[in-house]
Amino acid sequence: MRCDVLAIGTELLLGQIVDTNSSWIGEQLASAGIDTLEHRKVGDNLDRVVRCIRSMLEVSDALIICGGLGPTPDDLTREAIAEVMGVPLERRDELVEWIANLFGGRGRQMPENNLRQADVPVGGDVIPNPIGTAPGLRCEVDGRVIYAVPGVPYEMHRMVSEHVLPDLLERSGQRAVIVNRSLKTWGASESGLAEMIAEQVDAQTNPSIAFLARGIEGIVVRLTAKAPTVAAAEALIAPEEARLRATIGDLIFGIDDETMEHAVLSRLEARSWTLGVAESLTGGLIGSRLANVPGASHTFRGTIGSYATAVKRSVLGVTAEHVVSADCAQQMAEAAREVLGADVGIAVTGVAGPGEQDDQPVGTVWFGLAIPGVPTETVSTRLPGDRERIRQFSTISLLNLLRMRLDALA
């Protein structure tokens, strides 16, 4: 089964919006074991959309068309599919009513244009859209299938997950469910990780094991199992996940959508410990990421973004002569705990560039961790890259250090 993707919108060609939809769909298709071999972007032009659909269906069993289902005259996906099918559009009463109700429910009058969204090529099926005005379409042409989904990402995600993928799997005769489990790691390179678990990766076909490099989000080791039921797929994953954890467990900070900051906050919350941060080169970035976790207020007290040396001295009471040093990181971590009234204090100081500081080269970073019951610890590292990358890597590296230290406590 091969399913290609066509993204529609002149704004995509002009670079006003980056087409992330086809990447997301490609990832879903790959996880489901469906080949996806070509993706295209084309503008809002009926002739060109029709030509694209025709030429893509020549080589593919299925096509997902993304976008062009809106209410304005330049939304042409419905017309293009009808032309490819050689049928007219018909206005579906139940869709008219449904769209009118949507507007009525929000106390707004339905613009005449929105009626276009009730048009369906004769013989086509409607894919319901529970969270937007644009219904999706499923249409068959000469034994091939076309799915049309909205360009708005969260509407598209839901329609593809709930309708398109199950339908494709059914058609492919797989009659199987796909279950993914992502183990999110930090601290090893992709090749380093691959080496550690090479034997298991090579031997495994179901679940398959893949590596996805996610930059600042680390490297994901993804297990993908196919089975007749979710329970059966999960039963295939469990022993392989256990084997992976036996080898690289220390590097795994979370699963699936869990972020590093969530991993840290949940571990602290389990101990009823609060956290304070003192940060120099990151200027508030660590606090910002922690504050973005819903429910952070149970645990996260705040951050002192002590960018200027004078602020390190006046607010944090740092006496260390050099501000890029173990002494300074230690004093900052202890002050974060004290000034912010927290159980745990963490700190980072370093040189983000562009120039050297205190004779230390760009990328030199010192971390401090003040954790109850153990002596305050300092760790130094040397990070590559530009200013922004050094700041981002400092943030995630410090949070990961804290995670590992918390896991190592009795």
Residues of this chain, 198-257, that bind its own copies according to CB under 8 A:
212-213
Q: Does 259 bind its own copies (CB under 8 A)?
A: no
Q: What number of other Cβ atoms are within 10 A of residue 237's Cβ? A: 18
Backbone angles phi, psi at 127, to 5 degrees: -100, 120
Question: Across-strand partners of 252?
Answer: 185
Q: Shortest approach of its own copies to residue 70 CB, angstroms?
A: 16
Q: Of 329, 367, 374, 345, whose CA–CA distance to 273 is shortest?
A: 345
Q: Does 52 bind its own copies (CB under 8 A)?
A: yes
Per-residue binder mask for its own copies (CB under 8 A), 68-107, x = binder: ----------------------------------------
E strand or H helix that includes residue 379: strand 377-382
Instruction: Report the amino acid identity of residue 35.
Output: D
Residue of 1, 2, 33, 43 interacting with its own copies (CB under 8 A): 43
Alpha helices in 160-308 (DSSP H): 165-171, 190-196, 198-203, 230-248, 260-270, 285-291
Please say which residue, 22 or 121, places its beta carbon nearer to its own copies.
22
Residue of 85, 156, 268, 286 interacting with its own copies (CB under 8 A): 286
Q: Taking a C-beta distance cutoff of 8 angstroms, is the pair 184, 17 a contact? A: no
299-318 residues in contact with its own copies (CB under 8 A) are 300-308, 310-311, 314-315
Which range in 98-106, 229-237, 264-272, 298-306 contacts its own copies by CB under 8 A? 298-306
Q: Shortest approach of its own copies to residue 111 CB, angstroms?
A: 15
In eight-state DSSP terms, residue 296 is G
Q: Does 290 bind its own copies (CB under 8 A)?
A: yes
12-41 residues in contact with its own copies (CB under 8 A) are 12-20, 22-28, 30, 36-41
Pairing of strands 89-91, 119-121: antiparallel
Distances (CA, A) of 324 to 307, 315, 349: 12, 17, 6
Please say which residue, 38 or 199, places its beta carbon nearer to its own copies.
38
Residue of 272, 297, 321, 373 interacting with its own copies (CB under 8 A): 297
